[in-house]
A = this chain, B = another copy of it.
Amino acid sequence: MAEQASFEALEELMMRQRAGRLFDSREVEDSLIERILGMATRAPSARNAQTWRFIVIRDTETKARLGSVFDELGSQMYGQGAPTRTPWAEVPVLIAVCSEYAFGEDESGRMALGASIYPAVQNLLLAAHAAGLSTVLTTRWKRREPELRPILDLPENVGIYAIIPLGWPAETLGKNRRRPVPEVTYRERWGRNW
């Protein structure tokens, strides 16, 4: 049994988590995916409800259909010149993250659901990164949910919160870049310098 990661080792790992959109064609084994999903489920959820459901997609036609919705949304959001770097149909695996509307439809309920899904999504991304895999988190699907239902057989009471392309990287990425903590942190109240 491995020892648990030290603070320093976790920090190094987190500093190198980047979105990767270019994958080589090597297969990603079911056993590795299952272990990564197990790590995803270690995240907290409101009332420990664990409403996350994962769909692991390898079928080329399904990937192409999802990719075409993604690229259309990209054009709507960013114009025709939008970069669409992810070659959806060739991505080895897509993982769709879904959930029932478990905490009510009001703003508070939606927030509880987001707070119960995206921590698991981050565990998934970080676990994949630790395994040497590339991923990219895509969340623009909400607007086209009715169209996704027949592609993925989603029931009416289930929403889609993310689709994560995953595979072995075809590019090398360095550290991520972020604003320094004092620029995003206050002390005691909003606006008071850290």
Tell me which of B5, B11, B38, B112 contacts A181 (CB under 8 A). B38
Interfacial chain B residues near A123, Cβ < 8 Å: 14, 122, 126
Interfacial chain B residues near A182, Cβ < 8 Å: 34
**Given that A118-B114, A123-B122 are contacting pairs, would A188 and B62 also be in contact in the complex, using a CB cutoff of 8 Å?**
yes
Q: Which of chain A's residues 100-131 have a Cβ closer than 8 Å to chain B?
A: 107-108, 110-112, 114-115, 117-123, 125-127, 130-131
Q: Which of chain A's residues 137-172 have a Cβ closer than 8 Å to chain B?
A: 137, 139-140, 142-143, 152-155, 158, 161-162
Interface size on A, residues (CB 8 A): 85
Q: Are B15's CB and A5's CB within 8 A?
A: no
Interface: A67 (CB within 8 A): no
Q: Are B42's CB and A17's CB within 8 A?
A: yes
Distance in Å: Cβ of A155 to nearest Cβ of chain B: 7
A and B contact pairs by CB, cutoff 8 A, 27 listed = A2-B8, A5-B13, A6-B130, A9-B9, A10-B10, A11-B38, A17-B44, A44-B137, A50-B178, A53-B186, A55-B188, A59-B188, A98-B190, A107-B110, A108-B143, A111-B139, A115-B161, A118-B118, A118-B119, A118-B121, A118-B122, A119-B122, A120-B122, A126-B126, A152-B190, A153-B190, A153-B192
Interfacial chain B residues near A189, Cβ < 8 Å: 55, 62, 152-153
Residue ranges of A at the interface with B (Cβ–Cβ < 8 Å) = 1-17, 19, 34-35, 37-39, 41-44, 46, 50, 52-59, 62, 98, 107-108, 110-112, 114-115, 117-123, 125-127, 130-131, 137, 139-140, 142-143, 152-155, 158, 161-162, 176, 178-179, 181-182, 184-192, 194
